């Protein structure tokens, strides 16, 4: 039995991907491109050495103080070969990261798009294999030629590292973090590809042909910079010269007072654990959207676990020994909470999109609830009390954990989880300052999230076919309109209303930092609570109305 047959027994989807890609012509092209890239790289660095017509180079080991030309010994220039190989090693470090991540993301998302166009994506869903086996086959098989091309570069990369006297621990760490980062990124790419094929899209928005290019763009300008920055700040703190050429790291990184920056083992363990948690939640969403294209990306129960893990992970970086000789400032806690609130806003906007059900799902749920309630009202008077209690309990259970109910209650519970984790830290923070303003700003942040969730879910009840775009536009307007209006009022009229309007936007921290009158934040909070109540009252009325109208034919049949 050859290797491909053994792979087919272990993972049929991987066998299918490899069989379609590992053609002799494709393999030769992959190896040829890899060898050509290595040749061009070595040729470029060779051209930087002193030679005919060039007597100066940064790689010279010694310089003539009179002419600043490279010194020769025995007719041969003295070259700092360790530096030369180190620059090649650094270039390969960046090249491998960029090629593997950018090309891999494009290939995975584009492959799913092609499967959809050929009509084979639903066929794959009908396979008796487990979803994780199928998706793992995609993850390993689709970029197979890319893996071969990088594998052909690895010998030069390792040799350059040895010639540059690079510590073995860094080389091992580089490949370990490359593998972990790619696993996370490729999993996210698969999720992004499936999101474009979901019935109703994500949050009602259908993502189509631009998904692959969007994935490459986000990888290049969001993931890779953060990936490099985090590794330089943690796991590669002692080796920045092998990534950026120079510099020194810091050992001040802490998480719940654990000094991550002072231990390579702790830094690697924490980073791999954090990536593992992210991968776990991505695969939870992958499992759902693979089997149920019409379902939300996460269940409500899963969202509670995601929020807990995110809040604890984020809070740990602020629970540390601060150097108060530098950070002892009355606005330090204020800035910390503002930063956490901004990160939470991004998280909750993503959650709103992942949990908000589209119109047909809400219609089915409203019809079911109304039909069930109408049948229960037909029961005998003796059973009404107990039945009413069960009905109320069932409604709450549906709102908290049901698959088809509106997402507003789940968002509210996630906000309460956030309060339970972060508010004690704010109150017990060791800085001896007035914390009421910080708490007020934190409450406003939570109110705004609740408003955005209510607006999104209410807009998704529209009959318009493009209700997903309307929901997105409504939330964007709710975020941006107070900012724009406040900016215009301040710039044009220097009006004090500008700071008041900013209290209804994510920039409310700016108003609070400027010291607005104490009654204005309190009025803003009361107004936000009123808006939340009105929006959800309207949502309940709409659900009740459509549930009643949709249930009339069914109830007529029952009678």
pLDDT (tens digit per residue) in 163-189: 999 999 999 999 999 999 999 999 999
Give the chain's mean pLDDT: 84
312 to 60, 135, 262, 327, 339: CA distances (angstroms): 51, 29, 21, 23, 15
pLDDT band at 52, cuts 50/70/90? low
The per-residue pLDDT for 553 is 57
244 CB neighbour count, 10 Å cutoff: 13
- Nearest 5°: the CA angle 361, 367, 371 is 150
Q: Give the whole-number percent of the chain exceeding pLDDT 90.
A: 46
The per-residue pLDDT for 107 is 94
53 to 56, 57, 84, 140: CA distances (angstroms): 9, 12, 20, 49
In sequence order, the β-bridge partners of residue 239 are none
Please tell me the distance from the alpha carbon of residue 467 to that of residue 459, in angstroms, as a whole number.
7
What are the pLDDT digits (tens) for 210-263? 778 888 999 999 999 999 999 998 899 889 999 988 766 666 788 998 888 888
Q: Give the whole-number percent of the chain exceeding pLDDT 70.
A: 85
Q: Which two tokens mark 91?
A: 């270039």
Contact between residue 169 and residue 44 where contact means Cβ atoms under 8 Å apart: no
The per-residue pLDDT for 253 is 84
Q: Which two tokens mark 31?
A: 């190896």
Please tell me the distance from the alpha carbon of residue 233 to that of residue 240, in angstroms, as a whole number.
9
What are the pLDDT digits (tens) for 155-168? 999 999 999 999 99
Four-CA torsion 395, 400, 401, 404, nearest 10 degrees: 60
The per-residue pLDDT for 199 is 45
111 CB neighbour count, 10 Å cutoff: 20
Tell me which range, 191-195, 204-208, 414-418, 472-476, is most confidently predicted by mean pLDDT: 414-418
The per-residue pLDDT for 382 is 43
Please tell me the distance from the alpha carbon of residue 192 to that of residue 197, in angstroms, as a whole number.
9
DSSP H/E element including 258:
strand 258-259
What are the pLDDT digits (tens) for 353-394? 888 887 888 887 877 765 555 545 555 444 455 555 555 567
The per-residue pLDDT for 209 is 54
Q: Tell me if the pTM is above 0.75.
A: yes
Contact between residue 308 and residue 417 where contact means Cβ atoms under 8 Å apart: yes
Please tell me the distance from the alpha carbon of residue 101 to that of residue 94, in angstroms, as a whole number.
11
Average pLDDT over residues 72-95: 90
Report the relative pairing of strands 76-77 and 258-259 from DSSP bridges. unpaired
Q: Scan for tokens 């997903």, then name that residue.
A: 468
Q: Scan for tokens 């040749």, then name that residue.
A: 39
**For the ranges 320-329, 358-367, 471-480, 528-537, which has the lowest average pLDDT?**
320-329
Length of the chain: 559
Please tell me the distance from the alpha carbon of residue 138 to that of residue 112, in angstroms, as a whole number.
9
Who wins on pLDDT, 46 or 9? 46
φ, ψ for residue 165, nearest 5 deg = 60, 40
Q: Which two tokens mark 299?
A: 């269940």
Report the relative pairing of strands 254-255 and 76-77 from DSSP bridges. unpaired
Instruction: List the one residue out of 179, 218, 512, 178 whose CA is nearest residue 350.
Output: 218
Four-CA torsion 61, 67, 69, 71, nearest 10 degrees: -50
pLDDT band at 326, cuts 50/70/90? very low
Instruction: List the one residue out of 515, 533, 514, 537 whose CA is nearest residue 525.
Output: 533
Compute CA 281 distance to the chain's CA centroid, rounded to the nearest angstrom: 10
Contact between residue 155 and residue 116 where contact means Cβ atoms under 8 Å apart: no
Contact between residue 543 and residue 535 where contact means Cβ atoms under 8 Å apart: no
Residue 556, pLDDT above cutoff 60: no
Average pLDDT over residues 315-326: 72
Q: Which two tokens mark 27?
A: 């393999």
Contact between residue 369 and residue 398 where contact means Cβ atoms under 8 Å apart: yes
At how many degrees (to 10) do helices 104-118 and 168-195 cross?
Answer: 30
Helix (H, G, I), strand (E, B) or coil at 198: coil
The per-residue pLDDT for 555 is 47
Instruction: List the one residue out of 420, 407, 418 whose CA is nearest residue 445.
Output: 418
Strands (DSSP E) found in 86-188: none
């Amino acid at each position: 039995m050859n290797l491909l047959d053994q792979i087919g027994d272990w993972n049929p989807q991987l066998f299918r991907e490899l069989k379609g890609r590992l053609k002799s012509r494709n393999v030769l092209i992959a190896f040829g491109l890899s060898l050509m890239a290595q040749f061009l790289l070595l040729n470029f660095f060779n051209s930087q050495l002193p030679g005919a017509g060039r007597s100066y180079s940064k790689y010279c080991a010694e310089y003539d103080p009179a002419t600043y030309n490279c010194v020769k010994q025995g007719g041969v220039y003295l070259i700092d070969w360790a530096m030369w190989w180190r620059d090649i090693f650094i270039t390969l470090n960046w090249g491998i990261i960029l090629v593997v991540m950018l090309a891999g993301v494009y290939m995975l998302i584009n492959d799913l798009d092609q499967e959809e166009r050929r009509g084979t994506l639903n066929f794959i869903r009908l396979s008796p294999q487990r979803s994780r086996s199928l998706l793992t086959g995609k993850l390993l098989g689709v970029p197979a030629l890319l893996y071969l091309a990088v594998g052909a570069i690895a010998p030069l990369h390792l040799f350059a590292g040895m010639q540059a006297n690079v510590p073995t621990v860094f080389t091992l760490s580089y490949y370990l973090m490359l593998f972990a980062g790619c696993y996370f990124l490729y999993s996210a790419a698969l999720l992004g590809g499936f999101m474009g094929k979901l019935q109703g899209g994500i949050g009602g928005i259908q993502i189509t042909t631009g998904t692959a290019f969007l994935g490459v763009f986000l990888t290049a300008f969001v993931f890779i910079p953060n990936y490099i920055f985090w590794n330089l700040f943690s796991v590669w703190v002692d080796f920045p010269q092998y990534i950026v050429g120079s510099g020194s790291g810091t050992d001040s990184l802490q998480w719940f007072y654990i000094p991550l920056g002072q231990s390579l083992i702790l830094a690697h363990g924490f980073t791999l654990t954090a990536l593992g948690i992210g991968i776990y939640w991505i695969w939870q969403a992958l499992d759902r959207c693979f089997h149920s294209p019409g379902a939300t990306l996460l269940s409500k129960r899963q969202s509670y676990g995601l929020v807990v893990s995110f809040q604890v992970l984020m809070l740990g970086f602020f629970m540390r020994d601060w150097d108060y000789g530098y950070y002892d400032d009355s606005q330090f806690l204020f800035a910390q909470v503002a930063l956490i609130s901004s990160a939470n806003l991004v998280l909750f906007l993503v959650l709103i999109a992942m949990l908000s059900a589209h119109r047909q799902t809400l219609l089915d749920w409203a019809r079911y609830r109304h039909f069930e309630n109408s049948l229960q009202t037909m029961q005998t008077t003796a059973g009404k009390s107990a039945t009413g209690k069960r009905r109320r309990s069932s409604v709450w259970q549906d709102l908290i954990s049901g698959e088809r109910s509106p997402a507003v209650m789940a968002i509210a519970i996630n906000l309460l989880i956030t309060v339970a984790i972060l508010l004690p830290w704010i109150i017990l923070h060791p800085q001896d300052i007035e914390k009421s303003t910080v708490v007020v700003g934190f409450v406003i942040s939570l109110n705004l999230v609740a408003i955005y969730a209510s607006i999104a879910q209410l807009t998704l009840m529209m009959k318009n076919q493009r209700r997903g775009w309307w929901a997105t536009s409504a939330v964007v307007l709710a975020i941006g309109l107070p900012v724009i209006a406040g900016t215009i009022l301040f710039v044009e009229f220097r009006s004090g209303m500008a700071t008041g309007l900013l209290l209804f936007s994510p920039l409310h921290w700016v108003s609070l930092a400027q010291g607005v009158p104490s009654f204005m934040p309190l009025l803003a909070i009361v107004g936000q609570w009123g808006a939340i109540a009105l929006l959800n009252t309207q949502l309940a009325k709409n659900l009740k109305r459509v549930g009643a109208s949709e249930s009339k034919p069914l109830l007529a049949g029952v009678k």
